[in-house]
Amino acid sequence: MNYIDVKIKKLNDKAIIPTYGSEFSAGADLYACLNDDVEISPNETKFIKTGISVEIPEGFVLLVFARSGLSCKQGLAPANKVGVVDSDYRGEVVVVLHNHSTETRKISHGDRIAQMVIVPYFKANFEEVTTLSSTVRGEGGFGSTGKK
């Protein structure tokens, strides 16, 4: 198992430090840090605070993903699908939840609202060219490698 040190600052005394659900979980749960319950109506989006900020090591990025139970059972998932927290950001981690269901949903303090995964990344040196190498697939896209 590989570990990296990540500094977390509580911006609110009630904030909950992210936790892993099992020994081999890739994502750590993010918790709502709220004074009052937040209701999210169908097709509505709300910003949910976590009460924490993080210092992601250089060369890594924190990605915020939906929690499968919350998204599949309640229809709540990050509005931007995947949140990206860069290593130079020091503000509060906020999860923007969208309600895809037909019922109003409630978020309370301490609810697990998303999961975060910290991954290394590469920066690209973009080089403009006039041609690209050929492949068998070529320009086939949007299901071109699936069943015919």
What are the residue boundaries of the structural domains of the chain, listed by start?
Answer: 7-120
> Could you read off the pLDDT of 70-112 as tens digits, one per residue?
999 999 999 999 999 999 999 999 999 999 999 999 999 999 9
Query: Is the whole model's pTM more than 0.85, yes or no?
Result: yes
Identify the CATH class of 7-120: mainly beta
> Could you read off the pLDDT of 28-49 as tens digits, one per residue?
999 999 999 999 999 999 999 9
In the chain, DSSP assigns E strands to: 7-10, 19-20, 28-31, 38-40, 45-55, 60-65, 76-78, 83-85, 92-99, 105-107, 112-120
Instruction: Note whether 96 and 82 are within 8 A (CB).
Output: no
